[in-house]
């Protein structure tokens, strides 16, 4: 299958990005080094092009009813300008995808989904759209920039009259940005270092990208690739679909009980209620290595006797902590912070311990 290209593909290549296939798109994985880019976001400001993400519009008097049936969180609590983290549960107790729900206006929402799941999610939303909500898949028309880091407000404020410093986490405003009208400025991100996600039409993407790079020069802004994005999100204990959650993992097992609201009816709610009452048999945990080792996806997690108790879903050498960290599912009795666990690295069991997430405190 031919790789899709994001609107600024050529711009990233001209900046020296190493491009790799990711979720069906040709994407920049790094420009300099993952370590340098990671530290840029933690200490200053960086810009990610994440235009591969998917966006669906859901409108009309039946919009909320549809969203309530297909997502676990309670979207009735949203008012215009507010955002909610949620997931699509499937009929078997797993997760179709995790997503953001934007309340654009009364009876008007935007769902932001993972790039790898755009087609699957679109089919899922349509399958349950039995009451005629108006649906529009605008994924191919939109570009998305994540400008992240402690100096983001300083870097971006000159480009808009929206008061960025006063915006609360998980809210958004629509306004003029870099001379472009109706840009969505969203106080969200996947790094734990603060910042904004900026949604623009493809035809305005290059103008906005260059304006951001110019405006952030004084703060040392740099383009950042998917490599650093992964280490940044992992330090915060944020799930990555396809690694830490998928069609076979329940939101309760994944520690997403906080977005699973049983006072409303949604797909497979009854069996998830039963799972909650019975208690889960495995849990997604964070762990850090106490010996020099880097945990990797699919490595076995074992106990002191060498018996398998789980599996790593994501792992890396944490640039901020200088030690191996990871996430993985373990049997519930081994999930308490402080519990000793071992990761089997090339047939050698390396000691670690379960820790409370996030790994890096804000």
Q: Give the model confidence (pLDDT) of 20-43 as tens digits.
A: 999 999 999 999 999 999 999 999
Q: What is the pLDDT of residue 131?
A: 98
**Ranges of the chain whose pLDDT falls below 70:** none
Note if the pTM is more than 0.95.
yes
- 59: preceding bond cis by omega (within 30 degrees): no
Residue 161 lies in a domain: yes
Verify that 157 and 201 share a domain, yes or no: yes
**Full DSSP string of 73-134:** S-GGG--TTBEEEEEEE-TTSSEEEEEEEEEEETTEEEEEE-GGGHHHHHHHHHHT--S--E
Domain containing residue 98: CATH number: 3.30.70.1400
75 lies in which domain range?
Answer: 54-137
Q: Do residues 166 and 80 share a domain?
A: no
Q: Is residue 268 part of a domain?
A: no
* Helix pair angle (226-235, 34-43), 10° resolution: 60
- Check if the beta carbon of residue 120 is closer than 8 Å to that of residue 97: yes
Residues 115, 220, single domain; the answer is: no
Report yes or no on 245 lying in a domain: no
Residue 278 lies in a domain: no
Cα dihedral 123→190→188→119 (10° resolution): -10
Instruction: Point out the annotated binding site for substrate.
Output: 197
Chain centre distance of CA 131:
30
| φ and ψ at residue 43, rounded to 5 degrees | -110, -20
Specify whether 90 is located in the same domain as 204. Answer: no
**Domain ends where: 218, 235, 252?**
235
Domain-ending residue, one of 210, 235, 260: 235
In a domain, 215, yes or no: yes
Please enumerate in sequence order all residues whose Cβ is within 8 A of that of 77, keeping only pairs 6 or more positions apart, or say none: 84
pLDDT score at 181: 98
Give me the residue label for tokens 């679909």. 241
User: What does the pLDDT read at residue 1?
Assistant: 77
pLDDT value, residue 101: 99
H helix runs in the chain, sequence order: 9-14, 34-43, 63-70, 118-127, 152-156, 202-215, 226-235, 269-278
What pLDDT, on the 0 to 100 scale, is given for residue 223?
A: 98
Query: Can you read off the two tokens belonging to residue 15?
Result: 């900046």
Q: Known binding site: residues?
A: 197
């Amino acid at each position: 299958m031919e790789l899709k290209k994001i609107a600024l593909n050529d711009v990233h290549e001209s900046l020296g990005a190493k491009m790799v296939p990711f979720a069906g798109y040709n994407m920049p994985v790094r420009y300099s080094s993952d370590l340098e880019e990671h530290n840029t976001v933690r200490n200053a400001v960086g810009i990610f092009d994440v235009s591969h993400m998917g966006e669906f519009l859901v409108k009309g008097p039946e919009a909320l009813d549809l969203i309530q049936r297909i997502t676990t969180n309670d979207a009735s609590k949203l008012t215009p300008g507010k955002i909610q983290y949620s997931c699509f549960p499937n009929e078997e107790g797993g997760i179709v995808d995790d997503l953001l729900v934007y309340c654009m206006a009364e009876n008007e929402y935007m769902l932001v989904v993972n790039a790898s799941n755009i087609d699957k999610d679109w089919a899922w939303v349509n399958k349950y759209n039995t009451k005629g909500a108006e649906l529009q898949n605008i994924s191919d028309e939109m570009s998305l920039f994540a400008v992240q880091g402690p100096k983001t407000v300083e870097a971006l404020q000159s480009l808009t009259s929206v008061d960025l410093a006063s915006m609360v986490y998980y809210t958004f405003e629509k306004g003029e940005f870099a001379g472009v009208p109706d840009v969505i400025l969203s106080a969200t991100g996947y790094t734990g270092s603060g910042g904004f996600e900026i949604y623009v039409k493809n035809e305005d993407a290059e103008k906005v990208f260059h304006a951001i790079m110019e405006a952030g020069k004084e703060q040392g802004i740099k383009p950042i690739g998917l490599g650093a994005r992964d280490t940044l999100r992992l330090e915060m204990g944020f799930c990555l679909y396809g690694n830490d959650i998928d069609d076979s993992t329940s939101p309760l097992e994944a520690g997403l009980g906080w977005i699973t609201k049983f006072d409303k009816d949604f797909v497979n709610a009854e069996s998830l209620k039963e799972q909650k009452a019975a208690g889960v048999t495995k849990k997604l945990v964070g762990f850090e290595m106490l010996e020099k080792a880097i945990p990797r996806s699919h490595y076995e997690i074992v106990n002191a006797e060498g018996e398998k108790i789980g599996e790593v879903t994501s792992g890396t050498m944490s640039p901020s902590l200088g030690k191996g960290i990871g996430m993985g599912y373990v049997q519930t009795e081994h999930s308490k912070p402080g519990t000793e666990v071992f990761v089997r690295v090339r047939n050698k069991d390396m000691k670690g311990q379960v820790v409370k997430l996030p790994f890096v405190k804000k």
